[in-house]
Amino acid sequence: MSELKQVEREALDALQGVATAEALAAWKSKYLGSKGVVRDLLSKIASIPAEARKAYGQEVNALKDALTSAFDAREAQLAQAALQRDLEGGALDVTLDGRPRQSGRLHPSTQTLRQIMAIWADMGFQVYKSRDVELDDMNFTQLNFPPDHPARDMQDTFYTVDPSVILRTHTSPGQIRAMHELGENGTQPIRVVLPGMCYRFEQITTRSEVQFHQVEGLVVGRNVRMSDLKGTFTQFLKRLFGENTAVRFRASYFPFTEPSMEIDVECFLCGGAGCRVCKYTGWLEVAGSGMVHPNVLRNGGYDPSVWSGFAFGMGPERITMLKHDIQDIRYFWGNDLRFLGQF
């Protein structure tokens, strides 16, 4: 026991003499290290007579605790002294400006997506999140694309090992799922927006990527008419692009709507006069839309002689590109901070 006391006194005396970080580390290694004095004392326990072992073990542990807390205290003391020296010696200039911190920000697509969703939420639309991995049946057949219909070629598809399971090429299959899940067997009205990533097996170019977002919308009710679609969507576009935005509906074709329309806004870059972005037409296409096809209503569980609806779909990346005159869609997933940092 007196040997332990002796060790403790020696160690604490030595610690008082320690004045540098190196000496401190050496002291720690000598007394508390894996080959240090305390470890050595502990390993001697086998040679202690059995009746004294417990007391010996406790004493060595008490020694270890005492040295550890003395070490911590000395370390803090030395750090404080070093700081004091730096301050007094002028090595630390507390009047310097702070360094600006890099702060994260939202991806431009996320910003546009949130802006779009906030407007639809204000207009009473619920968010319905559908799946990215879809059945071919949902993505096409239920949406009134007959098998071998040429319109399937408009959307080149990523197939999984099971060819009936694909990555959705558009958010429209969510319409069918929303009708089944929220429609209660075709008895309840629906007003939803469906945001999400879509995937197409396409050549990547400045204008097309293999993945992109869409925001789909679906309204089903009694007496829902084309004027509801036009009024609702015009209101949305005014909220997104400004109160004075002019809107144009152009006849088009989609298998899942009848009639179908594409929706244009007056080019906000040139005010309709004609520029490179609007290809000198004065108009920018921002969405597809139409009255839900009776077959699609039926596939969603609704009786089309009683229920009607409208739907729309738009691409936030495209809208972001138009808004900021971005020339190349590949920037969106290129992870280049010089691009992303601008938003």
Instruction: Give the footprint of ligand DAH on this chain (CB under 6 A).
Output: 170, 172, 216, 254, 257, 288-290, 311-313
Alpha carbons 215 and 312: distance in angstroms, whole number: 8
Q: Phi, psi at residue 264, to the nearest 5°?
A: -115, 150
Report the nearest approach of ligand DAH to the CB of residue 258 (Å): 10
Alpha carbons 336 and 287: distance in angstroms, whole number: 28
Report the nearest approach of ligand DAH to the CB of residue 109 (Å): 16
Indicate the residue among 247 and 311 with the shorter CB distance to ligand DAH. Answer: 311
Report the nearest approach of ligand DAH to the CB of residue 207 (Å): 14
Alpha carbons 13 and 262: distance in angstroms, whole number: 87
Report the nearest approach of ligand DAH to the CB of residue 321 (Å): 16
Indicate the residue among 31 and 139 with the shorter CB distance to ligand DAH. Answer: 139
Indicate the residue among 36 and 217 with the shorter CB distance to ligand DAH. Answer: 217
Give the ranges where 243-340 is alpha helix by DSSP (H). 294-299, 316-324, 337-340
Indicate the residue among 313 and 316 with the shorter CB distance to ligand DAH. Answer: 313
Report the nearest approach of ligand DAH to the CB of residue 296 (Å): 10
Indicate the residue among 63 and 215 with the shorter CB distance to ligand DAH. Answer: 215
Report the nearest approach of ligand DAH to the CB of residue 95 (Å): 59
Report the nearest approach of ligand DAH to the CB of residue 282 (Å): 22
Q: 3-class SS at 27?
A: helix
Closest CA to 309 of 252, 224, 229: 224
Indicate the residue among 38 and 190 with the shorter CB distance to ligand DAH. Answer: 190
| DSSP structure string for 150-184 | GGGGGS---B-SSTTEEE-SSSTHHHHHHHHHHST
Q: 3-class SS at 82?
A: helix
Indicate the residue among 28 and 293 with the shorter CB distance to ligand DAH. Answer: 293
* Amino acid, single-letter form, for residue 91: A
Closest CA to 131 of 197, 202, 179: 197
Alpha carbons 270 and 268: distance in angstroms, whole number: 6
Indicate the residue among 63 and 311 with the shorter CB distance to ligand DAH. Answer: 311
CB burial class (10 A; 0-12, 13-18, 19+) of residue 128? buried
Report the nearest approach of ligand DAH to the CB of residue 313 (Å): 3
Closest CA to 317 of 214, 198, 195: 214
Alpha carbons 248 and 87: distance in angstroms, whole number: 69
